[in-house]
């Protein structure tokens, strides 16, 4: 009998020890074995409409985690879970803000064994396109801006998903040209930049879906335009042209020829020694002067393309065999913007002889291949 009592006591003691050990083991080791950790799978910047993928080391209670998840800056989210409840995808109902770090917090989430866990995660969204170069450079002086040397903003990535805004002081009405790759913008003032004036230009970007008050300043430059060339002719263009037509002596007595005065920035067309018309021109600026001498029309094209400057040259007439110098209408951007005629009478081109729209059409129609062209001071 005593032997049976001892056996029962030993069995009871063994059960108590087993239960106590199980309790201690579960309290100390079960949570460690099934501890839940989260991570964000993206290693690069997240696109502005891209889903962010959160992975967990152990299946979780998706309902509890969804309730306990917060994000800052606050954003309305669309969520979806994998079947094994180890992956959560979150997407913005609208879009992520660009160049922003989002903080994800899960406080009191539970895994499938209802063991709680906390997790702090973060991801960054794609940055705004950055300016690689902005011309004119900061502090540049004696700047002469025209269609062949406009203001230029070169970005490191495409602007297709962004709106760009330029703020100019003093304020001007602006014309823009975006290249096919959509990473370079050319900029001109529709009425041209004033001479000998200090300008400041700020460059601002926003994602197209952002509101108009969310522009971010991404660059700026300031520069001073050059002094106007000294005027050595009558200030009234009509009088100047009449004087040129009346007093220019023909250098070729027979047939057609084109006379270009760089000093007075005037073209006179002659036929058999008689002046037919005179027109204001714009020749090459300092350092890129139009060459002096006697030339001839080498070839003609109604709308030549300059790959070097990304411009159309309407009513083009080359005067040198290489085609590097010619007579043409004011250049046109591919988007259709044409520089105004206010630079006519001022040498600002890269060597060519520019004419206004209607004069260029008339000279183009009148001149023939082989027509002499005399360029003189």
Flag whether 15 is in a domain: no
Is the domain of 326 the same as that of 370? Answer: yes
How far is C-alpha 175 from the chain's CA centre? 14
Q: How far is CA 242 from the centre of its chain?
A: 46
Residue 29 has pLDDT above 50, yes or no: no
CATH number, domain of 83, equals 2.60.40.1220
Residue 55 placed within a domain: yes
**pLDDT tens readout for residues 261-293:** 998 899 999 999 888 888 999 999 989 999 999
Residue 100 lies in a domain: yes
Tell me the Cα Rg of the chain. Answer: 38
Q: What is the pLDDT of residue 20?
A: 55
Confidence of residue 116 (pLDDT cuts 50, 70, 90): very high
pLDDT digits (tens, 9 = 90+) for 99-108: 999 999 999 9
Distance from C-alpha of 146 to C-alpha of 159, rounded to nearest angstrom: 24
Per-residue pLDDT for 25 more than 70?
no
Same domain membership, residue 285 and residue 183: no
- pLDDT for the residue numbered 7: 65
Task: Walk across the sheet containing 174-178 and list its strands.
Answer: 131-135, 151-155, 184-189, 174-178
Whether residues 343 and 241 fall in one domain: yes
Mean pLDDT, the chain, whole residue set:
89
243 within a domain of the structure (yes/no): yes
pLDDT band at 234 (very low <50, low <70, confident <90, very high): low
Inside any domain, residue 112: yes
Question: Is pLDDT at 16 greater than 80 in this prediction?
Answer: no
- Is it the case that residue 23 has pLDDT exceeding 50? no
Kindly state whether residues 43 and 137 are assigned to the same domain. Answer: no
Residue 204 lies inside a defined structural domain of this protein: yes
The total domain count for the chain is 3
pLDDT digits (tens, 9 = 90+) for 290-323: 999 999 999 999 999 999 889 999 999 999 999 9
Q: Write phi, then psi, for 96 (nearest 5 degrees).
A: -75, 145
Q: Pick the residue with more confidence: 111 or 343?
A: 111
Question: Are residues 241 and 345 both part of a single domain?
Answer: yes
Q: Does 179 fall in a domain? A: yes
pTM reported for the whole predicted model: 0.70
Point out the domain boundary residue: 124, 155, 185. 124
Same domain, 196 and 282: no
Q: Assign residue 346 the CATH number of its domain.
A: 2.40.440.10
Residue 190 has a pLDDT of 85
Residue that terminates a domain, selected from 77, 106, 124: 124
The region of weakest confidence among 70-84, 220-234, 246-260, 324-338 is 220-234
Decide if 224 contacts 143 (C-beta within 8 A). Answer: yes
pLDDT band at residue 344, thresholds of 50, 70 and 90? Answer: confident
Phi then psi dihedrals of residue 189, to 5 deg: -85, 130
- Could you tell me if 146 and 71 lie in one domain? no
Same domain, 135 and 118: no
pLDDT tens digits along 138-163: 999 988 888 888 999 999 999 999 99
| pLDDT at res. 31 | 53
Q: pLDDT value at position 6? A: 64
Looking only at the bridges linking them, the beta strands covering 131-135 and 151-155 are antiparallel
CA 214 to chain centre: 17
Per-residue pLDDT tens for 181-227?
A: 999 999 998 888 888 899 999 999 999 999 999 999 999 999 999 87
Q: Are residues 334 and 248 in the same domain?
A: yes
**Residues 299 and 203 placed together within one structural domain of the fold:** no
149 and 93 within one domain: no
Is the pLDDT at 4 greater than 70, yes or no? no
Q: What pLDDT is recorded for position 27?
A: 44
Q: Which residues touch 351 (CB under 8 Å, ≥6 apart)?
A: 283, 284, 288, 289, 290, 291, 324, 325
Cβ atoms 129, 157 nearer than 8 A = yes
CATH number assigned to the domain comprising residue 214: 2.60.40.3710
242 and 263 inside one domain: yes
Last residue of a domain, one of 91, 124, 157: 124
| Structural domain harbouring 205 | 131-225
Task: Say if 16 falls within a structural domain.
Answer: no
């Amino acid at each position: 009998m005593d032997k049976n009592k001892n056996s029962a006591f030993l069995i009871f003691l063994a059960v108590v020890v087993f239960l106590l050990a199980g309790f201690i083991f579960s309290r100390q080791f079960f949570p460690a074995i099934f501890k839940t950790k989260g991570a964000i799978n993206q290693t690069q910047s997240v696109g502005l409409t891209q889903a962010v993928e959160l992975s967990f080391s152990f299946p979780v209670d998706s309902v509890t985690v969804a309730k306990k998840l917060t994000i800052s800056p606050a954003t309305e989210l669309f969520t979806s879970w994998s079947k094994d409840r180890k992956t959560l995808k979150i997407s913005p109902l609208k879009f992520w803000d660009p160049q922003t770090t989002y903080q994800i917090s899960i406080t009191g989430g539970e895994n499938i064994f209802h063991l709680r866990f906390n997790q702090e995660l973060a991801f960054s969204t794609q940055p705004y396109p950055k300016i690689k170069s902005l011309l004119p450079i900061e502090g540049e002086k004696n700047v002469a801006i025209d269609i062949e040397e406009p203001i230029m903003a070169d970005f490191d990535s495409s602007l297709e998903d962004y709106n760009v805004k330029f703020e100019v002081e003093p304020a001007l009405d602006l014309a823009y040209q975006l290249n096919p790759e959509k990473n370079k913008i050319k900029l001109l003032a529709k009425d041209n930049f004033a001479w000998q004036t200090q300008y400041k230009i700020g460059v601002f970007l926003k994602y197209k879906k952002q509101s108009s008050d969310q522009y971010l300043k991404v660059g700026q430059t300031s520069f001073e335009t050059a002094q106007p060339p000294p005027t050595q002719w009558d200030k009234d263009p009509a009088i100047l042209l009449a004087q040129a037509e009346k007093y220019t002596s023909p250098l070729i007595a027979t047939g057609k020829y084109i006379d270009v005065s760089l000093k007075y920035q005037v073209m006179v067309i002659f036929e058999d020694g008689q002046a037919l018309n005179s027109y204001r021109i714009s020749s090459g600026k300092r350092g890129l002067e139009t060459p002096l001498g006697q030339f001839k029309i080498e070839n003609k094209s109604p709308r030549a393309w300059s790959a070097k400057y990304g411009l159309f040259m309407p009513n083009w007439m080359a005067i040198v065999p290489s085609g590097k110098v010619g007579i043409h209408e004011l250049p046109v951007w591919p988007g259709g913007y044409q520089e105004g005629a206010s630079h006519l009478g001022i040498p600002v081109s890269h060597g060519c002889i520019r004419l206004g729209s209607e004069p260029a059409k008339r000279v183009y129609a009148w001149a023939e291949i082989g027509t002499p062209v005399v360029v003189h001071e």
